[in-house]
């Protein structure tokens, strides 16, 4: 049985990592907040995940043994603490005094009711950086609403441009609003920590699923703001350039992009149709876009004659961006994915040798490894309270009173 992470373990195993020495209090649930905190934990911060005492030992959503929960909460310490109890609140405020960062994704009214909002903790520890994710923002007409990824995919415009033309709204296959909000908050927290080196004072860093989703619309949103163009569904084709999208092959599909003049000329010659370069309907990039349905079908007529492997090897050798379309199992078996180490091995105390999704970040001289699997709920409660100065008898009293 692999031993669980302790405070000493954190110090010993992370001192070579970029965020070693940072103490982070994790009050997050579900996905967006934990995505942010995972970045901090993976790169050396001492993250203390704080959960309310539970009758069942299960989190509010999902199972502790699920791949999802395990993937989100690795490399952290875990404790139970009832913030609604005065004794639990007092212990939390002791932690605030010693922490560098708090991350939360509660609805705005909840943290104010618990008296753990920015205003409450900043006066206790002015150096603290406080990171918040909400569904729709910390104020405004929707501030009190609960926000989940799919709702925001719809409200943020994404579902209107996803899917085949005329298909109706389509959800993206991952929780993209959650994940993007978490990634952006991690970036904002690091900015605030950098500024704190100069000023000695922390900031409240905020984002929301809605803001993150609109940000991710990127050029589609810019097209509307600057030119009044409302994008629609483009299916598997690029929304503004051609040819760029999915093509059938003899045994499946490939993605291919040949949108520049040189790439288009190379493609025409390679497919044995140099005359396409002079075809009036396809002469310019704008022409090719306007006639993309006929263009794609003409190209697909040729790509259907050979296998995916044939075309990928051929086009790649010519410098044309292309690639196969994998199911997830095939993706992890790709030689480049294996080389990058995106399946990080770990010896799990329950599941034995397994793997988790590695951090997508790379630092020279540092491995991308999972140091510790997700700790069972409350594993480090006594240790953290001892770090705060509580005696064994005081900890026993807190447990008897169901504070921990």
Active site residues: 238
φ and ψ of 301, to 5 deg: -55, -35
Which residues fall within 8 angstroms of residue 262, CB to CB, at 6 or more apart?
A: none
What values do phi and psi take at 354, rounded to 5? -150, -165
Helix, strand, coil: what percent of the chain each, to 5? 45, 15, 45
Q: What per-residue string of b and e applies to 76-90 under the rule 16 or more CB within 10 Å gives b?
A: bbbbbbbbebeebbe
Report the C-alpha gap between 248 and 300 in whole angstroms: 6
Q: How many whole angstroms from its chain centre is CA 272?
A: 43
Between vectors from CA 104 to CA 101 and to CA 110, what angle results, nearest 5°?
A: 130
In contact, 292 and 285? CB cutoff 8 Å: no
Instruction: Measure the CA–CA gap between 126 and 122, rounded to whole angstroms.
Output: 5
d(CA 87, CA 74): 28
């Amino acid at each position: 049985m692999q031993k669980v992470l302790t405070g000493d373990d954190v110090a010993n195993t992370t001192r070579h990592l970029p965020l070693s020495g940072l103490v982070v209090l994790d009050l997050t649930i579900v996905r967006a907040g934990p995505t942010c905190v995972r970045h901090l934990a993976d790169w050396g911060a001492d993250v203390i995940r704080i959960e309310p005492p539970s009758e069942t030992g299960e989190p509010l959503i999902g199972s502790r043994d699920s791949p999802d929960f395990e993937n989100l909460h690795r490399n952290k310490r875990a404790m139970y603490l009832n913030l609604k109890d005065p004794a639990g609140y007092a212990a939390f405020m002791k932690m605030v005094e010693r922490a560098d960062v708090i991350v939360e994704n509660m609805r705005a009214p909840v943290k104010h009711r618990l008296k753990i909002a920015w205003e409450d903790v900043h006066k206790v520890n002015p150096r603290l950086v406080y990171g918040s994710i909400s569904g729709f923002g910390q104020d405004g007409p929707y501030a009190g609403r609960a926000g989940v990824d799919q709702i925001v995919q719809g409200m943020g415009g994404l579902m209107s441009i996803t899917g085949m033309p005329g298909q109706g709204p389509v959800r993206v296959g991952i929780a993209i609003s959650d994940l993007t909000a978490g990634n952006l908050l991690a970036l904002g927290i690091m900015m605030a920590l950098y500024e704190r080196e100069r000023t000695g004072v922390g900031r409240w860093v905020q984002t929301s699923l809605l803001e993150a989703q609109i940000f991710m619309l990127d050029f589609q949103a810019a097209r509307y703001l600057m030119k009044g163009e409302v994008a629609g569904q483009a299916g598997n084709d690029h929304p503004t350039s051609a040819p760029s999208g999915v093509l059938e092959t003899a045994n499946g599909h490939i993605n291919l992009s040949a949108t520049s003049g040189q790439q288009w000329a190379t493609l025409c010659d390679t497919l044995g149709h140099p005359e396409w370069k002079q075809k009036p309907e396809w002469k310019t990039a704008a022409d090719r876009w306007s006639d993309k349905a006929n263009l794609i079908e003409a190209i697909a007529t040729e790509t259907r004659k050979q296998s995916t492997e044939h075309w990928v090897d051929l086009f790649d050798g010519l410098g044309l961006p292309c690639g196969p379309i994998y199911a997830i199992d095939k993706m992890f078996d790709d030689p480049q994915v294996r080389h990058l180490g995106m399946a990080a091995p770990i010896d799990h105390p329950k599941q034995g040798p397994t793997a988790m999704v590695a951090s997508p970040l790379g630092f020279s001289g540092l491995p991308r490894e999972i140091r510790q699997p997700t700790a069972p709920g409350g594993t480090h409660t006594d240790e953290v309270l001892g770090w705060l100065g509580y005696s064994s008898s005081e900890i026993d009293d807190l447990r008897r009173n169901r504070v921990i």
